[in-house]
Amino acid sequence: MKRITGLLLALVLVLGMGAAARAEVPAASGVAYEIFVGSFADSDGDGIGDLRGIERKLDYIASLGVDMIWLTPIHPSPSYHHYDVTDYYSVAPEFGTMADFDGLVSACAERGIGVILDLVVNHTSSEHPWFLAACAALGSGDDSLTGWYNFTQGAGEHDVPGMQGWFYEGRFGYHMPDLNLDSDAVRDEIAKIIAFWQGHGVSGFRLDATTSYYTGAPDGNAGFVRFITETARANDPDCYVVGECWADEQTILGLYGSGIPSLFNFPAADVNGLLVQAALNGRGAAVARRMAAWNESLRAVSPASQDAPFLTNHDMARARGMLRSDDAAMRTAAMLYLLLPGRPFVYYGEELGMSGSGRDENKRLPMLWSAAEGSANCLPPADADQKQRLKAGVAEQEGDGDSLLNWYRRLIALRALAPELARGSMAALDAGSDALCAFTVTDGTTVAVLINASSGETAAVDPAALGIENAALLGCAGVAAEDFVRDGALPPVSCALLRLETNG
């Protein structure tokens, strides 16, 4: 541990200076940031978040150190959430124009940030012109559009308006009719949609509802995910595709057989998931063991894919409530998911400790730019029945070196020092402590990640016992570098990254 060079030690001290950690954060952190567009930032005073609002907040987004943003659906829709699309080739008027979108993508590119869009193709809106025309054509002999949806006669899920005896499939409700994904015409249209947005500079897509493409047919789902992935990558070999598969590990592994670059790690997320429970009970060693086994299984199925760990998203209660509003638990959870191999996703406001639970609208409350009365935050979704409990927004946390916001910045900056974390293979280390999450990640070179998940106990670090005695310290969070080097220990809620030196 004493082999740290003066140059590396100086770098660590800069990273440990709180708000100053924002300066010169390396671009390739491999961390993405989810934005629920209507709740993020409003540029025109109507209370609804929009694309220009996001662009105006890009310096803030860049200060986090993320290198990708995921935008929830931006297309026209009759709903506030926009997961029932009426036009895949345009931007919802309340969000702006195509010129605004192009401006956002260009401004992101200048900052080294890619943009991925939600691709919602399991279903459309019941108000989509395709569906309206298909319903009108039923019984007329014109089947040019009726084959785009799953219509039946005699019995079915939802009645076709004005067509007695006709029904259609809509797994998410009558207002979201399912597309017939076996239709060549539908697949051709989806390919055009993908190419259209790639032509406007998007770096990838988040796939909504992958387990519902073919209800109860995992092989069908995997086949369609393969179609989307191959279609997108034929246009752009670097296109990043990440899928929502809210299911158990075996189902997720089956979908990885499609070759999709990433799937969200739902078993590790949410209130009963591995990460939140480890943060609450201080047992980091279990995270190292289980995530190493998971990553090995993932790589066995699809070696080129990478995990997508996260705590919560727009469909889940906010992490603050799950973690009992406990500052130490929120910081520990952040360490655990932001330093795992793969591409972690941060839900907007998670870096502040925002609240929200119950109905979906509460989980999508406005980004808290400031808690001061009269601040220019977005209006909450119309049916939200909770108010934001957090009393310190971006403005209040910016200058506080000990804030959760600056903790996130330090962790993401620390991660950016270890590019091995993007695609490397993970191996758990036995540190002899339930609290210490210790593992290595190898991708040509090897880094060691050490996280003390305990909120009350110091964890001793024995480099020789861990097999990392020939390692150089990359950086720390929650502990001064010189203290870690001198004491060989991590105090509660702290972490360190080291790179193993190679012979020759």
Q: Following CA atoms 133, 134, 135, 140 in sequence, which dihedral angle do they give, to the nearest 10 degrees?
A: 100
Beta carbons of 336 and 287 less than 8 angstroms apart: yes
33 with 71, same domain: the answer is yes
pLDDT tens digits, 204-252: 999 999 999 998 999 999 999 999 999 999 999 999 999 999 999 999 9
Q: What is the mean pLDDT of residues 279-291?
A: 98
CATH number of the domain within which 176 lies: 3.90.400.10
Residue listed under structure tokens 């330090």? 410
Give the structural domain span for 346. Answer: 22-122+184-273+307-421
- Estimate to the nearest angstrom the gap between the alpha carbon of 315 and the chain centroid: 12
CA-nearest of 305, 449, 407 to 65 is: 407
Instruction: Please give the tally of structural domains in the chain.
Output: 2
Same domain, 241 and 321: yes
Task: Place 156 in a pLDDT band, splitting at 50, 70 and 90.
Answer: confident
Q: What is the pLDDT of residues 296-334, one digit of tens each?
A: 999 999 999 999 999 999 999 999 999 999 999 999 999
What CATH number is given to the structural domain containing 328? 3.20.20.80
Q: How far is CA 438 from CA 19, 287, 459, 467, in A?
A: 27, 9, 11, 11
Domain membership of residue 146 (yes or no) is: yes
pLDDT band with cut points at 50, 70 and 90 for residue 25: very low
What's the pLDDT score for residue 373? 86
Average pLDDT over residues 136-161: 88
**Where is the domain boundary, 402, 421, 440?**
421
Residues 291 and 327: their CA atoms lie apart, in Å, by 24
Helix-strand-coil percent breakdown of the chain, rounded to 5?
A: 35, 15, 50
Strands 240-243 and 32-35: unpaired
Same domain assignment for residues 202 and 312? yes
Here the tokens at position 309 are 């760990």
157 assigned to active site: no
Query: DSSP 3-state assignment of 263?
Result: strand
Given pLDDT bands bounded at 50, 70 and 90, which one contains residue 503? low
Whether 392 and 348 share a structural domain:
yes
Q: Which residue among 118, 208, 270, 307 is the active-site one?
A: 208
| CA–CA distance, 312 with 37 (Å, rounded to integer) | 16
What's the predicted TM-score (pTM) here?
Answer: 0.94
Domain presence at residue 328: yes
Is 87 in the active site? no
Placement of tokens 């934005």 in the chain: 35
Residue 276 has pLDDT above 50, yes or no: yes
pLDDT, mean over the chain: 93
Say how far apart CA 51 and CA 137 lie, in whole Å. 37
Catalytic residue among 34, 244, 361, 420: 244
* Amino acid 84: pLDDT: 98
Q: What is the pLDDT of residue 455?
A: 97
Residue 139 has what pLDDT? 77
